[in-house]
A and B are shown apart, each in its own frame.
Chain A
Amino acid sequence: MIPHDILTLYTAKAVEYIFALSFLFLFIPFWKYAMGEAHPALQPAMQPARQKIADRVPDLVEWFRLARDVAYHPGHAWARAAGDGRVTVGLDDFAQKLVGPMKAIELPPVGTRLAAGEPAWRLRVDGKAVDMISPVDGVVTEVNPAVLASTDVARHDPYGEGWLLKLDAPRFEANRRGLLTGKLARTWLEEATNALRLRMAPDLGLALQDGGMPVDGIAHALDEEHWDEVAREFLLS
């Protein structure tokens, strides 16, 4: 053991101070490194739970509700990852307001394989049917019995209780790149609303362009005869 005479004691103290100071200096970059994120944009499913709850409360873009915690397909279907390879999908507020009160939503049975961009479920309104397309690839593991019982739930809470299907979607990470989130989703919905505005005729009788709320079933209001074609145009089906 090295004896603790005065000189070695001072050296030891000096070394200790140097270590203490270098710890403090190195701690800052280390903290920043450990607390930072390598690819924050790629990992929206990893947000803390509190943020998730805040995200469930939808924003209002023009006349339509827009949930922040889901990714949107341009065909107005949304997808939300549960983090374990399972994804919940549904239709957005725009879609349900476009077609109006539905008689039924025909959902594919459990076990059906869905492909992104292909028809997935069917909205039945007034004896006509409009298909909607799947936002992701996957196999149906669960259908929402509440929606089968009454379509009202999908109209009142399209991003929550009104979900349509749960899928086992191993390719979700790849699918996600084709979906819209955050600012992009906002801009896209604004543009869709503008496109809707352009279709409006002055004699429509709706106060849409004055900022009034649209009635349920906008497509009906736009073209009573061929409303289903209008709806298909917007829903890309």
Chain B
Amino acid sequence: MRSAAHTLTAQSSWFNEKVLLGLTPKTYVRSLLTPGNLVAGLILAIGIPVIVYRFVYGLGAATNLTQETPWGIWIGFDMLCGVALAAGGFTLASTVYIFGLKDYHAIVRPAILTAFLGYLFAVLGLLCDLGRPWNLPIPMIYSFGTTSVMFEVGWCVMLYTTVLFLEFSPAALEWLGIGEKLRQMLVKATIGLTVAAVLLSTLHQSSLGALFLLAPTKIHPLWYSPFIPVYFYISAIAAGLSMVIVESALSHRAFQERVDHHVDMAPLTVGLARAASVVLFSYCFLKLQGIADGGHWALLLTPMGYWYLFEVLGFAAVPSLLFAHGARTRNVRLVRWTAAWTVLGVIVNRLNVSVVAMNWDLVPHYVPSWMEVMTSITLVTMGVLIFRWIVNRMPILRELPQYRNAH
């Protein structure tokens, strides 16, 4: 009896330490009462019933999707943007583990966590979007549609989400203080996992663009190009780098007590800006090639053309120059704002391809329903909350002393 009580106390102190951040349940709950959490709670209170409604009453009841426009913002925003912005995971991992730029080691874990959650919620968005989500295992297990781009995307995303989970799991094991052997095995597999990450990301980031190759007559000619897969891949790298800059700036502000103060973020931010500037510079020229290849110069002087020019010049050419200037003058503030602008630009690009330019001549044009928007907001909120929950507990922004230099 006594030993049982002992075990119970030990268990509850373990729970307090690991889950409640060393607080008692009462103080922990009280610490959650902040304005930010209130807003998040409100979003979830509306959003979760909306998601339930969608699964109970179906796509027709919850969305404005039609036979002509079967893909809405759950694909355009949750899937395409989520995956593009998660590209920081493979970009940073290959920078550190393949190209050997060890200075960036301190920001690999947050980048991988961002990527993992990005993919997880992209998949959740996809589940909402699929008319019959319970059929998802079919192409995964026994009916391989090997000639379909969708099959390739599905498999790649599944495999890469698994790779991201494996890349992330050493942090979880260090937090729990268990499975040391498994942790060492995973750490040893880092290079293999990183190679797989680059391979799979290259395949499906471009394949997500290749999906739109199937609809040449539906997409506005300025956005339709045989180079769409290349555009998606290159812009995903810029998106991933920008997202890492934004995420690290926000994390270092929000989680000051969790951050490894030995790491000077300024030179890392500047280095990422240099890479992003060169990637965006190349991307702009590829976009020019697309217009030249299609011979669509005249279309640039139409309202859709102005919007296209705004996207390419405003969200790619200008950030490229601003990143270069910011890196050159080591203006970290400018770099961070430019990164935020670029993240917005990638979202605009993906929504342009999948929503604005898709069936651009169809009247009435698709506009998402409030439930679609609410679902997307809810998924993003859940992603942010889980990111915060993990960062507050696991060694993401700092290394535990006993594992220093161990990975």
Show the binding face of A for B, using Cβ within 8 Å: 1-2, 4, 8, 12, 15-16, 19-20, 22-23, 27, 30-31, 33-39, 43, 45-50, 82-84
Complex CA distance for A92 and B83, rounded to whole angstroms: 53
Closest to A22 in B: B285
Complex CA distance for A37 and B281, rounded to whole angstroms: 19
Tell me if A's interface is mostly helix, strand, loop or mixed. Answer: helix
Q: Is the CB–CB distance between B285 and A8 below 8 Å?
A: no
A83 contact from B102, B264, B328, Cβ within 8 A = B264
Closest to A24 in B: B285
- The digit string for B275-292, where 1 denotes a CB below 8 A from any CB of A, is 001100110010011001
Q: Is the CB–CB distance between B295 and A8 below 8 Å?
A: yes
Q: Is the CB–CB distance between B328 and A46 below 8 Å?
A: no
Complex CA distance for A20 and B274, rounded to whole angstroms: 22
Q: Please indicate the chain B residues that have their CB under 8 angstroms from the CB of A83 in the complex.
A: 264, 266
Q: Does B232 belong to the interface (CB within 8 Å)?
A: no
Show the binding face of B for A, using Cβ within 8 Å: 102-103, 221, 261, 264, 266-267, 270, 274, 277-278, 281-282, 285, 288-289, 292-296, 298, 323-324, 327-330
Q: Please indicate the chain B residues that have their CB under 8 angstroms from the CB of A43 in the complex.
A: 330
Complex CA distance for A84 and B102, rounded to whole angstroms: 21
B274 contact from A15, A23, A35, Cβ within 8 A = A35
Complex CA distance for A39 and B285, rounded to whole angstroms: 30
Complex CA distance for A57 and B167, rounded to whole angstroms: 35
Q: Is the CB–CB distance between A34 and B328 below 8 Å?
A: yes
Tell me if B's interface is mostly helix, strand, loop or mixed. Answer: helix
User: Which 3 pairs across A and B sit closest by C-beta, in order of nearness?
Assistant: A83-B264, A34-B324, A2-B295
Q: Is the CB–CB distance between B298 and A2 below 8 Å?
A: yes
B261 contact from A12, A20, A84, Cβ within 8 A = A84
List 10 A–B pairs whose Cβ atoms lie within 8 Å, in order of A's numbering: A1-B295, A8-B295, A15-B292, A27-B281, A34-B277, A34-B327, A34-B328, A35-B274, A46-B267, A48-B103
Q: Is the CB–CB distance between A34 and B274 below 8 Å?
A: yes
Q: Is the CB–CB distance between A23 and B282 below 8 Å?
A: yes
Closest to A2 in B: B295
How close is B290's CB to chain A, nearest CB, in angstroms?
Answer: 10
Q: Is the CB–CB distance between B292 and A12 below 8 Å?
A: yes
Q: Is the CB–CB distance between A30 and B328 below 8 Å?
A: no
Complex CA distance for A186 and B100, rounded to whole angstroms: 33
Q: Is the CB–CB distance between B324 and A30 below 8 Å?
A: yes
Q: Please indicate the chain A residues that have their CB under 8 angstroms from the CB of B102 in the complex.
A: 49-50
Q: Is the CB–CB distance between B330 and A12 below 8 Å?
A: no
Q: Is the CB–CB distance between A45 and B293 below 8 Å?
A: no
Q: Is the CB–CB distance between A37 and B293 below 8 Å?
A: no
Q: Is the CB–CB distance between A82 and B264 below 8 Å?
A: yes
Q: Please indicate the chain B residues that have their CB under 8 angstroms from the CB of A47 in the complex.
A: 267
Closest to A8 in B: B295
Q: Please indicate the chain B residues that have their CB under 8 angstroms from the CB of A46 in the complex.
A: 264, 266-267, 270, 330
A36 contact from B221, B293, B323, B328, Cβ within 8 A = B328
Q: Is the CB–CB distance between A30 and B281 below 8 Å?
A: yes
